[in-house]
Amino acid sequence: MPKKTRAPKPARAAKPRVDYTAPERLKHIFAALDQLFPQAQCALRHVNAFQLLVATILSAQCTDERVNKVTPELFRKFPTAPHFAALHQEVLEREIRSTGFFRNKAKAIIGASKKVVQDFGGQVPKSMEEMLTLPGVARKTANVVLGTAYGMPMGVVVDTHVFRIARRLKLSQQNTPEKVEQDLMKLVPQDRWITFGHQMIWFGRKICAARKPLCADCPLESVCDSPDKTL
């Protein structure tokens, strides 16, 4: 008897590969953010670079609303870097207790203030390299201050919102804010870095929330295939 031969299985159609960094897709994302948040700004109240530095350190693991409740009185009592540099740690801890992690924050603020006074003549420095020498200051804080207070696009702010959304939109698959920032710096034009950071933070607050993102109302829904989607 002739041996039965199995018919070959039909080849499966290959899934079309999505180019998540295609210029058209990026354009769509930028246009949607521009439309949603044309005037996006930093929500932390401040009148100069030093106050923004303090407010940004306080905003770690804390809402901007909470920080904005604490800083008006804080800056009224201690308006400049020399005032903070001369503070006893316990005094500052009492003032900022409600922002959480107050011991570490007080230590960082006093340390950064001393360095600003001793090494930079009381002015917050204007380069990334110098900013990173301040105690408690990493790239996120440095980018906030350089971008918002000085208008210098030295990088992209990657806070918890930007980190989450960049990964949901597959603009980066990296696992650390520093590496996500490097990816974003390649994809986003430099003249957009400051605005893009603000817009992504507002987008994260208002639409693409960590829990229950509002995908039904999201103008990026058609280009998003995140497993977190609620549609």
Q: Catalytic amino acids?
A: 140, 159
- Per CB under 6 A, which region of 101-109, 137-145, 150-158, 222-230 contacts ligand SF4? 222-230
Element (H, E) at 80: none
The reply to whether 162 sits near ligand SF4 by the rule CB under 6 A is no
Q: 55 vs 9, 70, 76, 120, 121, CA distance in Å?
A: 63, 9, 14, 19, 20
Task: Give CA–CA dist 214/83, Å, rounded.
Answer: 44
Among 168, 179, 181, 198, binds ligand SF4 (CB under 6 A): 168
Site stretch for ligand SF4 (CB under 6 A), options 52-60, 67-75, 118-126, 213-221 = 213-221
* Contacts with 197 (C-beta within 8 Å, 6 or more apart), sequence order: 143, 144, 147, 156, 157, 158, 162
Rounded to the nearest 10 degrees, the angle between the axes of helix 89-96 and helix 64-77 is 140
Q: Are 223 and 169 in contact (CB under 8 A)?
A: yes
30 makes contact with ligand SF4 (CB under 6 A): no
Q: Which is nearer to ligand SF4, 156 or 207 (CB)?
A: 207
Q: Which is nearer to ligand SF4, 201 or 220 (CB)?
A: 220
Q: Does 228 interact with ligand SF4 (rule: CB under 6 A)?
A: yes
> Between 50 and 203, whose beta carbon lies closer to ligand SF4?
203
By the rule CB under 6 A, 218 interacts with ligand SF4 = yes
- Whether residue 218 contacts residue 207, with contact meaning beta carbons closer than 8 Å, is answered with yes
Which residues form the interface with ligand SF4 (CB under 6 A)? 168-169, 207-208, 213-215, 218, 220-221, 224, 226, 228-229
